[in-house]
Amino acid sequence: MMFKGIPVSAGIAIAPIVRLAAQPPVAAAGEKIDANRIAEELQSLERSIALAREQLSGLKEKAMDQLGPEKAAILSAHIAFLDDPSFAGEMKARIENQLCSAPAAVQAVAEQFIALFEGMDNEYMRERADDIRDVSRRLLRNLSSGDSHFAGFPEEPFILAGEDVTPSETLQLPLAYVKGIATAKGGPTSHAAILARSLGIPAVMGGGEAFLAAAETSQMMILDGTTGELWIAPSEEQLSIFREKARQEADDREALDALKDLPAVTLDGHRVHVAANMAVPEEAEALVASGLDGVGLFRSEFLFMDRDSLPDEEEQFDAYKRVVSAFQGKPVIIRTLDAGGDKHLPAMALPKEENPFLGFRAIRISLARPELFRTQLRALLRASAFGRLLIMFPMISHVEQLREAKRLLEEAKEELRMSKAPFDEQLAVGMMMEIPSACLQADAFAKEVQFFSIGTNDLVQYTLAVDRMNESIAHLYSYYHPAVLRLIAHVIDASHRAGIWTGLCGEMAGDPLATELLLGMGLDEFSGAAAVMPKVKARIRSTTIDQARKVARYALSLSSAGDVYRYLHDKTE
């Protein structure tokens, strides 16, 4: 049976299905684990307790302000339960001695205390059973949004199938065994898709409910992340066709791996940078090993997602520092919080908007909430002492926004100087070029920053007035549209006239078909998903800058996206 979804991360996977439950089971009573999972279960229990403590402290502060100390005291009691050795300690003991899963341990200990409280002859104490219920539910919830959801992963290759996969879930996958990800919902710019690409896991999203209904655990499945095909229980013939395809892909990959330690330089010596986009600090080590020229875009918003409270300065500092130091002096461009739009952050309680992409998002939020922005800037500055960090501001449309952001950055620097905290005094500041107004005014902006980075995903949608999530107008969305190409060329030229450089960190940077064109337009840095960038590097190494300039000149003379695409496509064939 074949289903068609949206291909979001290239590659072929052939493996049995592991189906993700839609809702994590709340009643996990009596669930047992293997002895070799004890450490893992203990860890997830501890994580869920730490998270609960954080959530409750936040709630307590709010309650203090809005409801008074009496209500806040209830939350203090909840926190005290978490710290109680006979509560958490007993849960740990059950995991260790009785091989309970973390949720089963929480459940069992909670029930024990609920029974004790309910059996007491004092009304007040009987009511405390509700507090225990409340705390244990919180723990179960925290556990299920973490990895316990995935508790029973096999230790052999599998393809994950589910309705949707959250970024934090993607990160919990055992990378050695997960061969592919197939979901019923989502699309190429969903965060799970971005993560799958950067982790190099073939993925198809938007397979639909029918796919999900047919997908059963342990059935054989083929996933083609290039075409979007999902085959459930394929025939022997299909299997052999795809095995052959997969073998060819592996050969290609090997050829690309050979380029790993070679620079991105054209045949006639024109050197550019090929960097990786990344979202979570955990990716850093793998990216360093891929031999790319640093990070062209670190999306800091991932630190803020899937959680009820905002990360404080220390947590952010640790994350930025980990990435910057891993790259040992290679440039790491960190973009300040790009919240809003399609990125909902529960911890920020942003209002729902009619037009989120034209609304309160990214730098607009940061400037409106300077206390939040300052925390991030301080964390970034402190991390800059550990390597080569560059700061980039998203969604700048007005020059005043950039000046205000820079002013706040200077303030943060001054604070750090006063407290003698080290940071990189030479730290470069740049901005995203993703709004047509900013692109057209690139000459004015070039005087204010040290670099530009073009974000084609948003630039295309703002230039062509095409919502990139709307399937019925998807055919209108193309970065080969001449208007988009002219804006890109204009930005690059303006930057070079001002003596600064321009990178590109949208999907276009990772499209080998666009490589020569961008190179010929003068692009200095290509940044995309680590898994696709070696192909871009190979393209750069196989052409000359003269040839690339010819391609760019001709492409820029064409009048439709289709013409540009056909020209580039036919040229490559």
Question: How many Å is the Cα radius of gyration of the chain?
Answer: 26
Assess 81 for contact with other proteins (CB under 8 A): yes
Assess 80 for contact with other proteins (CB under 8 A): yes
Pairing of strands 203-205, 295-299: unpaired
Least distance from other proteins to the Cβ atom of residue 137, Å: 16
**CA–CA distance, 169 with 160 (Å, rounded to integer):** 11
Q: Are 381 and 427 in contact (CB under 8 A)?
A: yes
Q: Are 116 and 58 in contact (CB under 8 A)?
A: no
Least distance from other proteins to the Cβ atom of residue 374, Å: 34
Closer of 89 and 562 to other proteins (Cβ):
89
Q: Are 284 and 303 in contact (CB under 8 A)?
A: no
Q: Residue 24: which residues within 8 A CB-CB, separation 6 or more? A: 143, 144, 145, 148, 149
Backbone angles phi, psi at 507, to 5 degrees: -55, -30
Closer of 132 and 276 to other proteins (Cβ):
132
Closer of 89 and 174 to other proteins (Cβ):
89
Least distance from other proteins to the Cβ atom of residue 118, Å: 11
Count of residues in contact with other proteins, rule CB under 8 A: 22
Q: Which two tokens stand for residue 146?
A: 């973490």
**CA–CA distance, 252 with 246 (Å, rounded to integer):** 10
Assess 76 for contact with other proteins (CB under 8 A): yes
**Binding segment for other proteins among 30-38, 80-88, 257-265, 503-511 (CB under 8 A)?**
80-88
Residue 462 sits at the vertex; the CA angle it makes with 458 and 467, to the nearest 5 degrees, is: 80
Closer of 116 and 368 to other proteins (Cβ):
116
Where are the alpha helices (H) located in 146-176, listed in sequence order?
A: 167-172
Interface of this chain with other proteins, residues 118 to 137, rule: CB under 8 A: 120-122, 124-125, 128, 131-132
Site for other proteins (CB under 8 A): which residue of 26, 50, 116, 440? Answer: 116
Assess 84 for contact with other proteins (CB under 8 A): yes
Assess 235 for contact with other proteins (CB under 8 A): no
**Binding segment for other proteins among 32-40, 81-89, 449-457, 527-535 (CB under 8 A)?**
81-89
Catalytic annotation on 100? no
Looking at residue 511, its amino acid is D
Closer of 51 and 132 to other proteins (Cβ):
132
Assess 231 for contact with other proteins (CB under 8 A): no
Q: Which two tokens stand for residue 137?
A: 């539910």
Site for other proteins (CB under 8 A): which residue of 113, 231, 242, 373? Answer: 113
Q: Which two tokens stand for residue 91?
A: 């849960």
Least distance from other proteins to the Cβ atom of residue 193, Å: 45
Interface of this chain with other proteins, residues 364 to 393, rule: CB under 8 A: none
Q: Are 196 and 53 in contact (CB under 8 A)?
A: no
**CA–CA distance, 5 with 3 (Å, rounded to integer):** 7
Q: How many CB atoms lie within 10 A of CB 382?
A: 22
Assess 110 for contact with other proteins (CB under 8 A): no
Looking at residue 530, its amino acid is A
**Binding segment for other proteins among 113-121, 337-345, 461-469, 512-520 (CB under 8 A)?**
113-121
Q: How many CB atoms lie within 10 A of CB 364?
A: 18
Site for other proteins (CB under 8 A): which residue of 23, 36, 65, 85? Answer: 85
**Binding segment for other proteins among 70-78, 228-236, 311-319, 440-448 (CB under 8 A)?**
70-78
β strands within 6-117, DSSP E: 6-9, 12-19
**CA–CA distance, 427 with 416 (Å, rounded to integer):** 14
Closer of 85 and 499 to other proteins (Cβ):
85
**CA–CA distance, 542 with 522 (Å, rounded to integer):** 17
Would you list the DSSP string of 90-146?
HHHHHHHHH-B-HHHHHHHHHHHHHHHHHTSS-HHHHHHHHHHHHHHHHHHHHHHHT
Least distance from other proteins to the Cβ atom of residue 396, Å: 50
Site for other proteins (CB under 8 A): which residue of 117, 373, 393, 501? Answer: 117
Closer of 27 and 80 to other proteins (Cβ):
80
Site for other proteins (CB under 8 A): which residue of 3, 87, 231, 298? Answer: 87
> Per-residue b/e over 236-265, b at no fewer than 16 CB within 10 Å?
eebeeebeebbeebeeeeeebeebeeeebe
Looking at residue 558, its amino acid is L
Active-site position among 78, 149, 191, 273? 191
**CA–CA distance, 199 with 383 (Å, rounded to integer):** 24
Pairing of strands 220-224, 229-232: antiparallel
Assess 262 for contact with other proteins (CB under 8 A): no
Assess 351 for contact with other proteins (CB under 8 A): no
Assess 86 for contact with other proteins (CB under 8 A): yes
Site for other proteins (CB under 8 A): which residue of 22, 26, 27, 73? Answer: 73
Assess 526 for contact with other proteins (CB under 8 A): no
β strands within 197-260, DSSP E: 203-205, 220-224, 229-232
**Binding segment for other proteins among 77-85, 180-188, 345-353, 499-507 (CB under 8 A)?**
77-85
Q: Which residues bind other proteins (CB under 8 A)?
A: 73-74, 76-77, 80-81, 83-87, 113, 116-117, 120-122, 124-125, 128, 131-132
Which residue numbers are catalytic? 191, 505
